[in-house]
Amino acid sequence: MQIAPAFKAPTRLLMGPGPSNAPAEVLAAMSQPLVGHLDPVFVKMMEELKTMLRAVFLTRNDMTFPISGTGSAGMEFCFVNLVEPGDEVIVGVNGVFGTRMVDVAERCGARVTKVESGWGNSIAPQQIAEALRTVSKPKLVAIVHAETSTGALTPVEEISKLTHDAGALLLLDTVTSLGGCPVRIDEWNVDAVYSGTQKCLSCPPGLAPVSLNARALEVARRRRTKVQSWYLDVNLLASYWGQERVYHHTAPISMNYALHAALRLVLEEGLENRWRRHKQNHLALKSALAAIGLELASQDGHQLWQLNAVRVPQGVDEADVRKRLLNDFNIEVGAGLGPLKGKIWRVGLMGETSSRENVRLFLSAFCQVLNECGRKTDAKAALAAVE
**Structural domains for the chain:** 24-267 (3.40.640.10), 271-386 (3.90.1150.10)
* Mean pLDDT across 157-162: 98
**pLDDT for position 24:** 98
Q: In the predicted model, what is the mean pLDDT of residues 28-38?
A: 96
Q: What is the mean pLDDT of the chain?
A: 97
387, pLDDT greater than 90: no
Q: How far is CA 248 from CA 67, 227, 243, 251, in A?
A: 12, 15, 13, 9
pLDDT of residue 246: 85
153 membership: H or E segment, kind and range: strand 152-153
Q: What's the mean pLDDT in 302-331?
A: 97
Confidence band of 329 (pLDDT split at 50, 70, 90): very high
Residue 166: pLDDT over 90? yes
Q: What percent of the chain has pLDDT over 70?
A: 100
Nearest to 216 by CA among 192, 198, 237: 192
At 199, the pLDDT band (50, 70, 90 cuts) reads very high
pLDDT digits (tens, 9 = 90+) for 83-136: 999 999 999 999 999 999 999 999 999 999 999 999 999 999 999 999 999 999
Q: pLDDT at residue 242 above 90? A: no
Q: Cβ-count burial of 27 within 10 angstroms (0-12 exposed, 13-18 middle, 19+ buried)?
A: middle
Q: Which pLDDT band holds residue 247 (cuts at 50, 70, 90)?
A: confident
Q: What's the pLDDT at 245?
A: 80
Which pLDDT score is estimated for 13?
98
Q: How far apart are CA 17 and CA 198, in angstroms?
A: 10
CA distance 201 to 315: 36
pLDDT band at 243 (very low <50, low <70, confident <90, very high): confident
Mean pLDDT along residues 290-298: 97
Is residue 27 over pLDDT 90? yes
Phi, psi of 168 (to 5 degrees): -105, 165
